[in-house]
Amino acid sequence: MLTKTVDVHGAHTTLKELLPLVTAGGEVILTEGNTPIARLVPISSPTLTPRVVGLHSGAIWTSEDFDEPLPDEFWTDNT
C-alpha cells in the first residue's frame, strides 16, 4: 500500500491528485508541520447480502398495548 504524506496547508491544492491514490487503495497522511493529524483512506464497502423478507417470521411479537402510556408506578416506584 502506497502512503503519501502531505502538509494540510497544501493538501487543498493537490486534493484532485491525491484522490486517485486513495481510490487505488493507498493512503494520505495529513500533517501540520511534522505532526500527523489525519489519515485519508478509502472507504471499505462491505459486501452486503440482500435481506430476505420473512426470513425470521414469528421470531418476535408486539403486544396489543405496546404504545399505551406506562402507569405512574413505573416512573415513581423506587423499589
Q: Over the stretch 10-53, which tens digit does the pLDDT of each residue have? A: 888 888 989 999 989 899 999 999 999 999 998 877 677 888 88
pLDDT tens digits for 43-79?
A: 877 677 888 888 888 898 899 999 999 888 888 876 6
pTM surpassing 0.75? no
- pLDDT at res. 37: 95
* pLDDT at 79 (0 to 100): 62
Q: Please give the domain boundaries of the chain with CATH numbers for all domains.
A: 3-40 (3.40.1620.10)
How big, in percent rounded to 5, are the helix, strand and coil portions of the chain? 25, 20, 50
Q: Sheet containing 35-40: which strands, arranged edge to edge?
A: 3-7, 27-32, 35-40
- The predicted pLDDT at position 77 comes to 72
